[in-house]
């Protein structure tokens, strides 16, 4: 089903930030079936538990995509499904959210650990800080933060903490290298959570995939530039159809 795209959201903010992009994509192509699916609500930080849940609930033979953590999970699920996945699209999604010795283009480990312990101790305040970081670099960061927080689902801290721990563990580079289907990875130029240098590092890792940059956009570029993102995705899909 090359005309079906499943989009997964990022950590904690629910499906609302993806809806403007989904609507823009549907407006560009009436034949493209775009569905935004929530992330599992689990108390486990084990990747296989998350993938089992997603694999059981998402349709086969569709494009998989996602924003930030959602993009990382889509990458892992695409690798697991192989030929049962038409292709992969990630949005502001670093292959490793936390920096590693061989992947420095990410959040410093000490910063992430402080964020993790902060959320465990003061969930509400730390979650608000996360929304502020998502909005950093936006034309109107305050309004963007309010928009993100206002639409965020009410979830208990325990599954959010499990998702945060998963985010810190994930390194999807092997999955990206294993998946042989078409890939498009879009990054934001003023992202406060994913360094823009990650785009160049990803292209160096996978020179055969498509990597793009929306220059004047924050981590929450789904809300800031949905039509620009939709145009980039649609151009990529049409290019494949023409091949």
- Positions marked catalytic: 68, 191, 219
Plot region of 68 (φ>0 → left; ψ -120 to 50 → alpha; else → beta): left
How many C-beta neighbours within 10 Å does residue 124 have? 9
Distance (Å, whole) CA 188 – CA 183 = 17
Distance (Å, whole) CA 236 – CA 119 = 38
**CB-side neighbour CA atoms (13 Å) of 210:** 19
Distance (Å, whole) CA 198 – CA 73 = 17
| Beta-ladder partners of 34 | 5
Distance (Å, whole) CA 83 – CA 78 = 9
Which among 92, 125, 128, 126 is positioned nearest to 111, based on CA atoms?
Answer: 126
DSSP state of 40: P
> Which of helix, strand or coil describes residue 238?
helix
DSSP state of 137: T
Longest dimension (CA), the chain: 53
Distance (Å, whole) CA 78 – CA 175 = 8
């Amino acid at each position: 089903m090359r005309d079906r795209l499943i989009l997964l959201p990022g950590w904690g903010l629910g499906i609302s930030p993806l809806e403007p992009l989904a609507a823009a994509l549907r407006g560009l192509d009436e034949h493209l079936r775009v569905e935004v699916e929530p992330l599992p609500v689990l108390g486990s930080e084990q990747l296989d538990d998350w993938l089992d849940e997603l694999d059981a609930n998402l349709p086969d033979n569709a494009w998989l995509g996602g924003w930030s953590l959602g993009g990382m999970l889509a990458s892992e699920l695409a690798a697991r499904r192989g030929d049962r996945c038409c292709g992969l699209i990630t949005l502001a999604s670093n292959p490793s959210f936390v920096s590693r010795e061989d992947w420095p283009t990410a959040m410093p480990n000490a910063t992430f650990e402080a964020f993790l312990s902060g959320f465990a101790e003061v969930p509400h305040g730390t979650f608000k800080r996360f929304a502020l970081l998502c909005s950093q670099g936006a034309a109107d960061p305050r309004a963007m933060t309010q928009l993100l927080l206002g639409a965020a689902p009410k979830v208990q801290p325990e599954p959010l903490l499990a998702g945060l721990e998963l985010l810190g563990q994930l390194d999807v580079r092997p999955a990206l290298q294993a998946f042989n289907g078409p890939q498009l990875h879009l990054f934001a130029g003023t992202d406060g959570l994913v360094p823009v240098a990650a785009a160049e590092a990803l292209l160096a890792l996978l020179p055969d995939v498509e990597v793009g940059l929306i220059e004047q956009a924050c981590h929450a570029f789904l809300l800031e530039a949905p039509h620009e993102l939709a145009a980039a995705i649609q151009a990529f899909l049409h290019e494949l159809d023409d091949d």
